Amino acid sequence: MILVTGFGPYQEPINSSGVLVHSLKRDLPEELVPLKQKLAFEVISCDDSSREAEHQGLETQLEELLKKYEPALCIHTGQAPPYNKITIEKIATNSFMQEIIDPVRPVAYWSNLPGTDALKTVLENQNIPADYSFYCGQHLCNHILYSSLHFAERFHLSHKAGFVHIPLLPEQVIKEYRDSPYISLEMSRKALTLIINHIAETQ
C-alpha cells in the first residue's frame, strides 16, 4: 500500500494539500489506475485550539492510519505559501512550533522514500517547477514527516516516508495570500501523480 496524506483547513478556509488529496481520491488520474488497489488517500484534520491539541491530534490520526493501511510507502503533503515550486523535503527534525517534540526521540530523520533523488528531474522534464529542501519548517508539515519516520522505527513498521510541499492554489491567492506564488490544481495533480508512479516503480 501507498498512503498519501494532505492536511485539511488550518486557520483558513482551504489547504492546497488537502484539496489535492481529495481531488485524487475523487477522480483518480488514468496514469494511477494500475495502482488503484494499492493507493490510500487521506486528509489529516488540524485542531488549532492549542499546541498540544495539534501535536496529539496529528500523532493520533497518523498512528491510526498506519495501523489501518499498513503501508509500504507514505507520501505526506502540505501547503507552502511562499513556495513557487513543488518541493521535496529531505529531512525532518525533532521540533514543533519552536519546541522539541519529544526529548527522548532522535534529533532528526532523513526521508527514505525510494527514488527521491530523481524526483526534481522527473518533474522538470514535464515542465513542472521542482526543488529540494533541507528544512521542512516548524509546524505540522515537519511534524508529520518526523512522526511517520519515528513511528516506523518505534513500532517496527516497514514503511518508508517522505514529504512534498505544495504551493497555494490560485483561489487562495485571490482570497487570502495576495502576494504569494501559486500553481494550478491541474499541475499539482500531475506532479503528485508523477511522484507516486516514480516512487512505486523505484521501490
Handedness of CA 141, 144, 148, 153 (dihedral sign): positive
**pTM, rounded to two decimals:** 0.96
Residue 52, CA distances (Å) to 28, 49, 99, 176 in order: 35, 8, 11, 26
Given a cut of 90, whether residue 113 has pLDDT beyond it is yes
pLDDT, mean of residues 107-116: 96
Given a cut of 90, whether residue 155 has pLDDT beyond it is no
The Cα 132–Cα 109 span in angstroms is 16
On average, the pLDDT of the chain sits at: 95
Interval 2-32: pLDDT, tens: 999 999 998 889 999 999 999 999 999 999 9
The Cα 160–Cα 158 span in angstroms is 7
- Residue listed under C-alpha cell 534529533: 107
- Residue listed under C-alpha cell 487570502: 176
Q: In this structure, are strands 91-93 and 108-110 parallel, antiparallel, or unpaired?
A: antiparallel
pLDDT band at 49 (very low <50, low <70, confident <90, very high): confident
CATH number for 71:
3.40.630.20
The Cα 169–Cα 182 span in angstroms is 5
Residue 153 vs residue 190, higher pLDDT:
190
Given a cut of 90, whether residue 167 has pLDDT beyond it is yes
Count of domains observed in the chain? 1
pLDDT, mean of residues 152-179: 93
pLDDT band at 187 (very low <50, low <70, confident <90, very high): very high
Give the HSE-up count for residue 187: Cα atoms under 13 Å, Cβ half-sphere. 18
Range of the domain at 114: 2-202
Interval 54-72: pLDDT, tens: 999 999 999 999 999 999 9
The Cα 73–Cα 76 span in angstroms is 10
The Cα 157–Cα 38 span in angstroms is 17
Residue 10 vs residue 160, higher pLDDT:
160
Grid cell, residue 203, equals 521501490
User: What pLDDT is attached to residue 47?
Assistant: 87
User: What pLDDT is attached to residue 123?
Assistant: 98
Amino acid identity, residue 173?
V
Interval 115-134: pLDDT, tens: 999 999 999 999 999 999 99
Amino acid identity, residue 137?
G
The Cα 46–Cα 60 span in angstroms is 12
- Residue listed under C-alpha cell 522527473: 122
Residue count (the chain): 203
